[in-house]
Chain A
Amino acid sequence: MKKSIYRKFRRNIIFFTLLVSFTPLILLGGIIYYNFVRVYEEKIEDQVKYRAKSQCNTVEVFLRERVAILSTLVDTHSFEYLKQQTNLSHIFDVISRRTDGLVDIGVIDGSGQHIAYSGPYDLAGLNYYHTFWFNEVMSKGKYISDVFMGFRKSPHFIIAVRGHNNGKNWVLRTTIDPDLFHQLVRTAQTGRSGDAYIINKDGIFQTGTRFSGSILGQSNLDTKLFGEGTSLVEKIKLNGRVKYYAGAWLKNNDWLLVISQDVSEEMAGLLTTRNFAILILSLGCLAIIYTTIITTKMTVQRLEKANDGINELNAQLMHSDKLAALGKMAAGIAHEINNPLAVIGEKAGWMRDLLMDEAFTNSDSYKEYSVSIDKIEEHVERARKITHNMLGFIRKMEPRLDDVDINGVLNQTVGLMQNQARLNNITIQMEFDPNIPIIASDQSQLQQVFLNLISNAIDAIEIGKSKEGRINLKTWQKNEYVFISIEDNGPGIPKESERKIFDPFFTTKKTGKGTGLGLSISYNIIEKMGGMINFENKAPQGIVFTIKLPVVLPEKK
């Protein structure tokens, strides 16, 4: 019942201490981490966006340059000139030397007929009239196609420009090297997980990609997410990993340049920092938990001990109060009994005096009278012993402070008891500390206490006679106190009697043998001296009584 109160108390302290120390710690850690991550993410976002935009510009410039070359050719050379195969080859040679990325060049007349061609494929003579791009370029003047397979059966895209000579339209067309173009786009890709590629409006790859798919394949990006024209970042979660996608529209919003970046890779540094922080935080928390539990436990234990001490003290106080009250009552009773006892004693004595007269000595019943008077006197004496013990009045007239050598007094007392002990086959051992100080106390009262305790020990051993009797007397000093212990190897006291042995009249001895006052008187004497008697019951191995006396040094005379 009491234990559970302490347990609850301890639990509460631990709970609240941990709550109060953890909450701000975790809150602070969380907030700092959250903000840090946000700033970091923003930075990555900006970076990805910026890269997309600048790469988009690069690609745009590349395309515009190629368009410009074709436009210049169309404007400065006539159809008649360019349709000559040798002229076209010569011009293509010159251009290829200055500009990279062009695979071939061809001249197509108004009816779609491929008239002249310079390049690695065998395309001369084909008719393009029905291809999608031919119509586009004829109507718009300039055209950059999406990637397609075409007659050559390999993915490529073309740039075509319309020329006008002598009232006739014609077309100059060139193919862009898809590998070179891909390489150009790819320069924007970073790290181990970054990717850069181009898709068209329908999500068809216009370049190769690193991870996302192959050219002309279908991307699973929803191009509508990227809005119109400018770049925009989307965060897309793919199997637990967050990827950033930045897109920039180019080629009149036909193509979307996409840059993707795995956030976890970018954040790897941050993550290790985070893990380190979590580690430190957890270690800190563990330390807090540990110290909280330990200190709380210690505090509560101390408290418990202190309370136990107080309770014990209270119990002792109550006990000594009880003894004091009982003592007063006993004294009153003793007085009331003493007066009639005195009369009985004197009357019996008077009868004995009278019996001495010759007249009686010769009478028949003289013996009877004499024996009766003996008995009366014997029992008055017994009663007298009880009442005098009750008054604790074997003391001398003057209660004075002697210079008491405790070891000496014990020796004397043992001397008095030695005969009785020997008769009962009991050895008395003495281990005295020769250095204990001479104290100011009442020698005869102390002697009475020692007598009471030693005779109790002898009585106890007599009862449990089976073993060799042994009484151990010890003295020692500790701090401001002298200790005297009296140990016997008798049967000890039954548990249920422990509380009662200091009560007046508590005895387990035969009527006439014990009055039950020995310990009560001893207790009072020692208490008045400012000391204390305790015992340690080792039943059935005997009992140790310990007397604790304050060291009061005698005044120097």
Chain B
Amino acid sequence: MGIFRILIVDDEVDFLETIVNRLKKRKLDAIGVTSGEAALDLLAEQLFDVVLLDIKMPGGMDGIETLREIKKIRPLTEVLLLTGHASVETSIEGMKLGAFDYLLKPIKLEELLQKLAAAFGKKSTHDKKIQDAKIQELIRYPSKVFEQDKKE
């Protein structure tokens, strides 16, 4: 079983870079792009398990549009919405369009990992238990996992 692949879409470069680094440090294969268009281009070529998508991106496609397109080309990819400002209406719309869940900025890393885990769990139901165990460990002792991974 390979490492989970995560695509992160956010126009706030500082945030994007840091979150990508932090996830990478936790042995997750994270890639960041700054626009909906770029995300769709990448998704057309590669497979990702989860897309973390900012709803509000001024200029270009916004989150909801991007979500709609993603679900067209990769219906099995789970999408987590990310927002600094969410109204009930956008949330409902996101859920209707097939988003898995959403997160409010500023996020807590633990929360993000939990939701990612749930999304992974949903995507690949086989071998669920092993994954769950691993994810639980990942959340509780991130540094330990790193160490083990390093030694491997």
Per-position 1/0 for B89-113, Cβ under 8 A of A: 0011001000001101111010000
| A406 lies within 8 A of chain B by Cβ | no
Q: How far is the CA of A332 from the CA of B56 in the complex (A)?
A: 13
Closest A residue to B56 by beta carbon equals A335
CB contacts (< 8 Å) of A388 on chain B: these are 104
Return the contact of A397 from the options B14, B22, B25, B102 (Cβ within 8 A).
Answer: B102
| B18 lies within 8 A of chain A by Cβ | yes
Contact yes or no, B109 A331, CB < 8 A: no
Contact yes or no, B101 A339, CB < 8 A: no
Contact yes or no, A339 B15, CB < 8 A: yes
Per-position 1/0 for A376-392, Cβ under 8 A of B: 00001001100010010
| B21 lies within 8 A of chain A by Cβ | yes
CB contacts (< 8 Å) of A356 on chain B: these are 143, 146
Among A236-244, A292-300, A346-354, A427-435, the stretch that binds chain B is A346-354
Return the contact of B22 from the options A331, A350, A393 (Cβ within 8 A).
Answer: A350
Among B36-44, B45-53, B67-75, B80-88, the stretch that binds chain A is B80-88
Contact yes or no, B106 A391, CB < 8 A: no
| A439 lies within 8 A of chain B by Cβ | no
Contact yes or no, A343 B88, CB < 8 A: no
CB contacts (< 8 Å) of B86 on chain A: these are 391, 393
If A391-B85, A397-B101 touch, whether A349 touches B15 (CB-CB below 8 Å) is no
Tell me if A's interface is mostly helix, strand, loop or mixed.
helix
| B12 lies within 8 A of chain A by Cβ | yes
Name the interface size band of chain B. 20 to 34
| B139 lies within 8 A of chain A by Cβ | no
Return the contact of B18 from the options A347, A384, A398 (Cβ within 8 A).
Answer: A347
If A380-B106, A391-B85, A397-B95 touch, whether A343 touches B143 (CB-CB below 8 Å) is no
On B, residues with C-beta under 8 Å from A are 12, 14-15, 18-19, 21-22, 25, 56, 84-86, 88, 91-92, 95, 101-102, 104-107, 109, 142-143, 146
On A, residues with C-beta under 8 Å from B are 331-332, 334-336, 338-339, 341-347, 349-350, 353, 356, 380, 383-384, 388, 391, 393, 395, 397-399
Question: 5 closest Cβ contacts across the A-B interface?
Answer: A335-B85, A338-B84, A342-B106, A342-B105, A346-B18
Beyond contacts A338-B85, A343-B15, A350-B18: 18 other A-B pairs, Cβ-Cβ < 8 A, are: A332-B85, A335-B56, A336-B84, A338-B104, A338-B105, A342-B84, A342-B106, A345-B106, A346-B15, A346-B18, A346-B106, A349-B18, A350-B21, A350-B22, A353-B142, A380-B106, A393-B86, A398-B92
